[in-house]
A = this chain, B = another copy of it.
Amino acid sequence: MLSKTAEYALRATIYIALKGSEENKLGIEEIALGIDSPKSFTAKILQLLTQNNRVISSVRGPNGGFYLTDRARKLPVKAILEAVEEASVITKCVLGLKECSETRPCPMHTQYKNIKKQLKQMFEKTSIQQLVDEFNKGNYFIDNLKGVRKPC
């Protein structure tokens, strides 16, 4: 469905929105640990997301790091996909035709268009903050289980 790049972009952004703020910026080390992703690769992805402060804001130097502004928190999840150039997932033909259209539909179009519509809705109508809120309801995760957990 999505590339590793997009997956890390989504997880990293959620993590930063979740744990960071302008007063408490997060470093790449912590972010990569928090979402189980390769550190340097994630750094590269965050560069894409910080271009023009589109989604993520960053400050260099001591006490620097990444955070999300209130404006950014209101952005749709789609904004993250756009930053990594993968928003086309919500417009493409499932069979890979150059165009997905009603006037020149593929044999799966009728079925797939409903799914695509919901995908579109999900990415366009859900804000980053909504995902944070969802997470904060408890028992949600953005990392992988690592090692063995001690029984309580």
* Chain A contacts to B: CB under 8 angstroms: 1-2, 4, 7-8, 10-11, 14, 77, 89, 92, 94-98, 104-112, 114-115, 118-119, 122, 126, 131-132, 134-135, 139-145
Contacts and interface: CB of A to CB of B under 8 A. Distances in A.
Contact of A144 (B11, B97, B119): B97
A52 B9 CA distance: 40
Given A104-B145, A108-B122, A110-B134, A95 B10 contact: yes
B4 A96 contact: yes
Contacts of A77: 108
A11 B95 contact: yes
Contacts of A94: 1-2, 10
A142 B97 contact: yes
Given A105-B139, A107-B131, 17 more contacts: A1-B89, A1-B92, A2-B96, A4-B96, A10-B95, A14-B95, A95-B142, A97-B143, A98-B144, A106-B142, A107-B134, A108-B126, A109-B140, A111-B122, A111-B126, A112-B122, A115-B119
A97 B143 CA distance: 7
Nearest to A139: B105
B11 A96 contact: yes
B118 A115 contact: yes
A42 to B, nearest CB: 12
10 contacts: A7-B96, A97-B144, A105-B139, A105-B140, A105-B141, A107-B134, A107-B140, A110-B134, A111-B122, A115-B115
